[in-house]
Structure 1
Amino acid sequence: MMKLTRFPFLLVLLIVGTATAKQPNVVLIFADDLGYGDLSCYGATKIQTPHIDQLAEEGRKFSDAHSSSAVCTPSRYGLLTGQYPFRANDGKGIWKPTGLETPLLIDTDMLTIADVFKRQGYDTAAFGKWHLGFKEGENDWQEPLRPGPQDLGFDYYFGMPVVNSAPPYAYVENDHFYGSDPEDPLINVGRQGPGAHPLSKLPKAAGHRTPNFYKGQTKAYELFDDYEVGTKLAEKATDWIETRDEKPFFVYFAATQVHHPFTPAERFQGTSQAGLYGDFAHELDWIVGELRQSLEAIGEADNTLIIFTSDNGGMFNTGGKAAAKLGHQINGDLLGSKFGVWEGGHRVPFIAWWPGKIAAGSESDQLLSNVDLLATFAAIAGRELSAEEQQDSINLLPALVGEPEQPLRTEMVVTPNQPSHMALRKGKWMYIPARGDGGFATNIAATRLAGTPNSDIKNGKLKKSAPRAQLYDLEADVNQTTNVYSQYPEVVQQLAAELKAYQSHQK
């Protein structure tokens, strides 16, 4: 794979400013389960996202951006480390969401995007969904929750330790529960065990939540309200931004929208034409507006790069199905959804906004993966990476601020829920070494609900005559309507060999 291992310092100065100028701030907004079709600037008509649309109108919108995995936890691993998630865990990979007792999944010796900035003198903070584990060996949820975000380059952390649909239903601040009582530790009593904190009542339309496993930390539980998560995270992030002084800063804001349960604050309920799913997206848009306003309040908006993207594609869960029935296409016309390796599972919105550096209203079809943010941020911060530090990441800063004549990334690996379906994208070709998408069985059935045709599928079921693997020409058929596996045996042979090299860690 072609790599741009260094970004010439002179060119950094031309983009950022003089050598004595303050380095630019960076705000990375990472939505949860937000599909390619969930923003009005990407074609949504049942959902309106004016704040995010404004970023696109004043910045650059990418049409061929991808999460490194179609699953939340491995995608976050790839984002923070610049390493494909199949390489994690001593080569065993990370494929699924973390469990409740999962230890920290990122080795504290690995370079992260937060380390890149912190080592260049930045203040760093993370807000929102973590979902990468805490502690070593097994997470028993006893304080302090270390190692954790603060051992991966973040000065400050506040957010949901796992996900908004799973216990413990409490916030973590740095390495303690928010509202922590050391005399009232968290205790695992089993699924809905004796003394487990009851869940708040939500309407059926809000979707699934995992029953609680824990008692203890009662004060922390009392401070948590499903409907106020978005508001609370926005308040914490904007307060942190507005207290910055002279040092540049990096913010990683991992939103809980639009992951189930769909619990937008009351002021957003009923504001979209896509049910609670759309209302939750409206709350996300409000959060983006709040973050930008906080930058303007301290006079730093013009010296800040904002990147907005998602951890994977949209999911046809309770809210996704309801939105689809109301005419909203969560992944646009793309085939597939979260957990699967078809485009709808990992092709995501990606918007970059940087006044005076990124051309307003511009668009790009450069291929990029979220693993590329490590090398890109290193270039922005003025840090050169060794080959070991860079891992699978490619510096895409030229694609943010300029118009490269050639693709900066020419191939990429994408991982779904099932290792058997790890796929290779090379140029216009997408090769999947098995039938189906490697996600949930319901993903194939959802093609009928979404109205996304595919030559291997009929009435939401895989045809018995479908080829044993898949090849798509994304240049001619981005919606993957036709599997051309049988028509191009030489392409299949080449890509299969290259994918095997990745799987054996030879690439």
Structure 2
Amino acid sequence: MTSRVTWFCLTLALLVPQAVLAAEKPNIVFIMCDDLGYGDVHCLNPEHGKIATPGADQLAKEGMTFTDAHSGSSVCTPTRYGLMTGRYSWRTKLQSGVVTGFAPCLIDADRPTVASFLKEHGYQTAIIGKWHLNFQYCDAQTGKPYSAKDFKSPPVGTKIPDGPLARGFDTYHGFHHARDMQTVIENDTVIAHDPPINMLPRLTRKSVEYIDQHANDDKPFFLYIPLGSPHTPILPTKAWQGKSGLGDYGDFVMETDNVVVEVTKALQRHGLADKTLVIFTSDNGCSKAAGIPQLADKGHIVSAHLRGSKADIWDGGHRVPFLVRWPGKVKAGSKSDQLICLTDWFATAADVIGEDVPAGSCEDSVSFLPALAGEAIASTRAGVVHHSISGHFAYRQGPWKLALARGSGGWSSPNEKQAAKTDAPKAQLYHMMDDVGEKDNRYLTETSIAERLLKQLQADVERGRSTDGPKSKNDTKKIDLWKSEKN
């Protein structure tokens, strides 16, 4: 009898640590807005932010605000690639701009994603929203891929062989990108054509439904909610029209923020709020389509204290809101000024669940988990690479930022064509602690610093990775650092 009891206790002792580890894996909700400017979140821009964002503000109150967080690019597709893979998108064939669908997925089939990684380690994985990383639309009977010339909106029943379900997600409900927003997809099939004005309410509803359906499951979930708002088409629904007093864009930002409110309510309703890591961010800065000058006339500054906006190499293009709530792990009302990038999410997710990142991934990903505990990030990366819509590069190391562009490298004035007609130097160097508005270009006076940053950028590009690890390869040899000035 004694031996049986001893064996039972020994078995129980072996099983308990595994159960405890499983219990410690939080649910994860990652909300990424589309074209939401740093200054569009009221708590980040209290003086010049005129749009009410109670959902995001409450997250900040209950969690941590990162004040120096950056997207991997100042435009949609590259940022999403970096978030999913932990690798800069400019290491692929996509050297500028965005993808438009009706083409094979930008993420190679054999490359791990944060979704496939979490799934491998016991998570249920779902994406509800915008993919924008390419996939093929195929005839359901023949399997033949359609082209964009065949259909503006692929017919109901069209199959998608290389979409999110083929890149680690169990569940997908959403659309590819803004110009194809009317094409509603569920898992690997086009299920409906619906006016774009209905998409944001749809994503809100589906996100809440997912939490409702999986609240009592034994396995944790990773719910990725890449919204299509407040990107164009700017279409607040009737219930939100007129609420901001700033026109359609302000109303649309408020309706976007309401996703945070509704998701939070769902987590609280099921007693999951204390068991869930929630992250809220944006893929890049606010777009000029929002009517930036008109909003400024009404007192709302979309980029707050930053220069530029979506598409630019200046910080207004890629410094983004980044709020984290994780009760019991992250101190309420805390702030971090440590430099992070959305490519860092993959390594952080691995750290959160206590696993190593998989081979062939995370070349540009550093865990920011220590920052959530108020500690310094232990980084093997020398700096962070920024990238504009036109493919212009910048490199940030400590307080210094080197931009290889004469002007914005994007849409803001002076753009590259405009700057080329002036005596502007071929590059820009800013001390971001003293000059966060990027007004005092020191490229011609701090030459040794500029040379050091350029050398490090070149090394990070050529080595195929910016973190420690085995040398990796870029997918292309055609990575041109100097877009406006050939050296």
Structure 1 residues 115 and 94: CA distance shift in structure 2, 3 A: farther
CA distance in 2, matches of 1:30, 1:303: 20
User: Could you say what secondary structure the match of 2:455 adopts?
Assistant: helix
Structure 1 residues 146 and 407: CA distance shift in structure 2, 3 A: closer
Shift of 1:139: 5.5
2:385 matches 1:384: no
Is the contact made by 1:80 and 1:374 (CA closer than 8 Å) also made in structure 2? yes
Is the contact made by 1:367 and 1:407 (CA closer than 8 Å) also made in structure 2? no
TM-score (norm 1): 0.80
CA distance in 1, matches of 2:33, 2:181: 21
What's the counterpart of residue 8 of structure 1? none
What's the counterpart of residue 99 of structure 2? 98
CA distance in 2, matches of 1:303, 1:497: 44
Q: Unaligned 5+ residue runs, structure 2? A: 1-17, 138-143, 148-153, 466-487
* Aligned residue type for 1:426: Q
User: Could you say what secondary structure the match of 1:29 adopts?
Assistant: strand
Q: Deviations over 1:369-421 (max 9, x none)?
A: 000000000111222124632211001111113332877865111111122x2
User: Could you say what secondary structure the match of 1:466 adopts?
Assistant: coil
What's the counterpart of residue 34 of structure 2? 32
Shift of 1:81: 0.6
Structure 1 residues 371 and 20: CA distance shift in structure 2, 3 A: closer
What's the counterpart of residue 195 of structure 2? 225
Is the contact made by 2:407 and 2:419 (CA closer than 8 Å) also made in structure 1? no
Shift of 1:475: 1.3
User: Could you say what secondary structure the match of 1:255 adopts?
Assistant: strand
Structure 1 residues 247 and 58: CA distance shift in structure 2, 3 A: same
Structure 1 residues 24 and 405: CA distance shift in structure 2, 3 A: closer
Structure 1 residues 42 and 119: CA distance shift in structure 2, 3 A: same
Q: Unaligned 5+ residue runs, structure 1? A: 1-15, 179-219, 447-455
The alignment-based identity, stated in percent, is: 40
Structure 1 residues 146 and 168: CA distance shift in structure 2, 3 A: same
2:52 matches 1:51: no
Is the contact made by 2:363 and 2:464 (CA closer than 8 Å) also made in structure 1? no
Shift of 1:95: 2.3
* Aligned residue type for 2:396: R
1:302-313 to structure 2, matched below 5 A, reads 302-313=274-285
2:172 matches 1:167: no
Structure 1 residues 235 and 20: CA distance shift in structure 2, 3 A: closer
Aligned mate of 1:148, from 145, 163, 169? 163
**Which range moved further: 486-495 or 462-471?**
462-471
Aligned mate of 1:444, from 392, 408, 413? 413
2:285 matches 1:323: no
Q: How many residues align?
A: 430
CA distance in 2, matches of 1:160, 1:269: 24
* Aligned residue type for 1:395: S
Is the contact made by 1:227 and 1:266 (CA closer than 8 Å) also made in structure 2? no
Shift of 1:324: 2.6
Shift of 1:236: 0.9
2:24 matches 1:66: no
What's the counterpart of residue 428 of structure 2? 470
TM-score (norm 2): 0.83
Is the contact made by 1:133 and 1:162 (CA closer than 8 Å) also made in structure 2? no
User: Could you say what secondary structure the match of 2:260 adopts?
Assistant: helix
Is the contact made by 2:102 and 2:136 (CA closer than 8 Å) also made in structure 1? no
CA distance in 2, matches of 1:257, 1:59: 23
CA distance in 2, matches of 1:20, 1:153: 20
Shift of 1:325: 2.9
Is the contact made by 1:27 and 1:305 (CA closer than 8 Å) also made in structure 2? yes
User: Could you say what secondary structure the match of 2:413 adopts?
Assistant: helix
2:209 matches 1:239: yes
CA distance in 2, matches of 1:315, 1:439: 11
* Aligned residue type for 2:182: Y
Structure 1 residues 252 and 506: CA distance shift in structure 2, 3 A: closer
Is the contact made by 1:435 and 1:468 (CA closer than 8 Å) also made in structure 2? yes
What's the counterpart of residue 383 of structure 2? 411
User: Could you say what secondary structure the match of 1:344 adopts?
Assistant: helix
2:417 matches 1:402: no
Shift of 1:463: 6.8
